[in-house]
Amino acid sequence: MLVAKLKAEAFKQSAFGVKLRHSWQHAVVRYLAVKSSLRSIEDVRRICRKLDTYFGSLMLDEITGDIIWGVVQGELKKGNKPATVNRYLALIRCLLRMARDEWQWLDAFPKIRLLQGEVERDRWLTREEASRLISVCPNHLAAIVRFALATGCRAREITGLEWRRVDLERQTAWLDQTKNGTPRGVPLNADAVAVLQGEAGKHDRYCFTYNGEPIRWELTNSAWHTALGKTGIKNFRFHDLRHTWASWHRQAGTSCDELKDLGGWKSRVMVDRYAKYATEHLAAAASRIENGRGGNVIPFPTFSPRQKDQRASA
């Protein structure tokens, strides 16, 4: 019976252009296969499991705006913040768009807007805080933190860095495993070179190791949290070292375009968040109204509304 049904549906599709209906769960299986190379694939799987509560029994063409609204309300009632709900909505939108545009499983799907009110994270360290953090880290972690602050590299870019991709004479490293999947070169400043020179000879393949072995675990482990506890630094993640690096660059006068290339971002959108840290280009404008420079302000005459009425009636 099932074979006959599938043959009938295939005939309808080829002869009359009728699309086969696909379930949400079928789409999730294919979506996870497509995204399997992502570093964050476990997070993607976790979100898909959460969404199965809402979509598990539905066909893709049965997903309506009301059902998506139910996801929003259900997750907010659980106490999740808008940022968390937006990650769910972004995955739904990405999956449905892929089903429509790439797999041709759908003709259309509901418009999905992300929630307003998501608070942008703005957490970075001062130079003094960074020095205190490095001073209490064990040696292997201190080297990684120093390299992150010098290059802006992400955690897995650092732990996966191999000596064959480093040229200390040219002061360059080449990353082949990046978040967006695009290999990129990283210029190494004097601080980064000093870190790598200190790690040379500890392993024949990997630049950063622990007790002579490659680091294959997340860096936000007990050593990281112990170091934060000793310094009293709160609400700080390892990835915030990248935010710190970018913030320091903007404060030092690095342009957004330069920062985009240094950090390997594909667009200016992610870089513009750091624009607020650089004000040098506005210094001349701010000085135009300084005391003693009032000559630049034209003393226009002013009239009250009553004076204007009296002048009009005269």
- Residues with catalytic function: 154, 179, 239, 242, 265, 274
Q: Are 173 and 165 in contact (CB under 8 A)?
A: yes
Q: How far apart are CA 295 and CA 299, in angstroms?
A: 9
The amino acid that residue 100 corresponds to is R
Q: What is the DSSP letter of 31?
A: H
Q: How far apart are CA 249 and CA 233, in angstroms?
A: 21
In what helix (H) or strand (E) does residue 184 lie, and over which residues does it extend? strand 184-187
Q: How far apart are CA 136 and CA 223, in angstroms?
A: 10
Q: How far apart are CA 2 and CA 56, in angstroms?
A: 21
Residue 69, φ and ψ in degrees, nearest 5: -60, -35
Location of structure tokens 């079928």: 26
Q: What is the DSSP letter of 177?
A: S
Tell me which residue of 155, 198, 147 sits closest to 173, measured CA to CA: 147
The token duo for 197 is 């020179």
The token duo for 305 is 């509304």
Q: How far apart are CA 219 and CA 144, in angstroms?
A: 9
CA of 291: how far to CAs of 44, 284, 294, 295, in Å? 57, 14, 7, 10
Q: How many residues does the chain have?
A: 314
Q: How far apart are CA 119 and CA 85, in angstroms?
A: 13
Q: What is the DSSP letter of 21?
A: P
